[in-house]
Amino acid sequence: MKKIKPFPYILGAISALIFLALGFYTLCPALNAKNPGLWILINTALFIFVIVERLAKGCKDFGYITTSIKKGSKGRTKKQTKFNISLKPYIVPLAFTAVFLFIALISSPFFNAVAHSEILKVTDSDFTADLSESVGTDSIALMDTASAQMLGDREIGTLSDVVSQFDVSYNYTQIDYKGKPIKVSPLEYAGFFKWSNNKSGGVKGYVSVDPVSMSASFNETSGMKYVPSAYFSEDAFRHLRLEYPTLMLSNLHFEIDEDGKPYYVACVIDHTVALFGGETVVGCIVLDPVTGETVKYELSDIPRWIDVVFSGDLICKQYNWYGTLKNGYLNSLFAKKDCKQVTTYSSDDEESFDETPISDYGYISKDGDIWIYTGVTSVNGDSSNIGFLLANERTGESRYYAVAGADEKSAMAAAEGEVQEKGYQASFPSLINIDGRPTYIMVLKDSGGLVKLYAAVNVEQYNLVATAATQKECIAKYKAVLGINETAPKEEIKERTVTVASIKYIDIDGNTYIYVIDENDNIYKARAAENENMLLLEAGDKAKLSVSGSLIVGCEF
């Protein structure tokens, strides 16, 4: 009987264990059978065990090259080289791989389409009843992440003692703070050596950006020690993993409570379909970055000041399951009967804690919570929406509104076209209610990222557009375009006496608009139904116009 030498097996086992220990400390996967990352880590360790064990035995049956001499039919010799490898030692890791792939397959929508479609509960709702009319502007969060980053960097750039050691994180979070929407982002260490030099004092504070006033401020706090940009045991990701080794976590992000105290919030997720499918949120963990203390909350007990538990990407992923898979997976590929999807979606890695946001959504501050907005379109990829989705990022409550109209990209293009000579770019819009009419509202930025104008675009008739320098003026002008009997604020109305060079009448979706061109080639417009006396205007007439921007709100001649 051949004697078994234990050394190769011991060396292989030690190598695999070292790999597992390093993998757990650096990658921090959840020690949970529902976590695919753990399966991949273990499978890699099994291959390392076999490879090291084979190498320790001298590679005789690991993989080797043989050379043979063969005589040809005409007496010539031919050299043949072959690489030989024995698969027998790899039976265990290969079998583990096969089991992993099988579980992944049966967890996918291909085998569990209906189960995936039932994860998100969507309620059909009435737009006018749910969204009160936007008479003010404090609840409208229009600033995209890129603009917030620019303002935050500019604010920190004025603080010489801060900017030399810290950067502003690009992971801005949209929250509701004391009834108003703001974006917040913490400072972070600018590399390993800056962390090493400043770890005793921690991170000095965070930046808050007001999307209404377009201003940023630096808020100094007690030193935040447990942050994502720290290293070793002070890394917030690793700190949570060591305290909760079995929980699957997602979307670690920064928030502040109603007193301005900073926290990090990580969402606890579960897979509800087979082993790896049907991702959803079941709770969250709140980390105090100053003390390192944590509190775990079930979904029903989450405090009101926490605004983001269900990330926008996860909600959109779940809605796509709901909209495309309820009639089966094959239907989503071929017949596509009753299939619909969100117009904006970007994937989210469940174990990723430190990634720059891929995309923005429309945000609405409502009843103390942040709701994300995105349009819903058919899977045929046309440029129109059949409705839109409003979802609460704290509770996951999702509402669908069947309002057909232009999609967000078409509305953005319409707003840009209104001032095309300036070359401004529109941000992703938000959704508001103006006199019961769904309306896109967005900002227009120059090439440097500075906000120059606001734009309002009607969802159902996206050729109805108004632009202005402020939100308040933009809404007032938009109401005038809609024919709503509401005058612009007195300080925004200017009186001009002009000589009419030419006058044109243009019909837009059944509404007649009067365009007046004066002797200096200035163009003014008015809705005929609201200014019937202007139908008597002729070229050469002198007229006294009351205008807000280019919109005529009164005319005498």
Helices first, then strands: H and E counts in the chain: 13, 30
Count CB atoms within 10 A of the CB of residue 277: 23
At 355 the pLDDT is 37
Mean pLDDT per 10-residue run, the chain (557 residues)? 76 96 96 97 96 79 54 58 68 96 96 96 89 63 80 84 86 90 94 92 93 85 95 96 97 96 97 96 97 96 95 93 94 90 57 40 84 88 83 95 89 91 88 88 86 91 89 86 64 79 74 82 79 84 83 82
At 72 the pLDDT is 57
Crossing angle for the helix pair 91-107 and 36-56, to the nearest 10 degrees? 170
524-552 b/e with 16+ CB inside 10 Å = b?
Answer: bbbbbeebeebeebeeeeebebbbbbbbb
- HEC readout, 244-299: CCCCEEEEEEEEECCCCCEEEEEEEEEEEECCCEEEEEEEEEEECCCCCCEEEEEH
Pairing label, strands 166-168, 173-177: unpaired
At 82 the pLDDT is 57
Structure token digits, residue 160? 């010489």
At 353 the pLDDT is 34
Residue 406, judged by CB atoms within 10 A of its CB (0-12, 13-18, 19+), counts as: buried
At 122 the pLDDT is 96
Count CB atoms within 10 A of the CB of residue 199: 16
At 455 the pLDDT is 93
pTM over cut 0.85: no
At 154 the pLDDT is 86
DSSP summary character for residue 64 = E
DSSP summary character for residue 9 = H
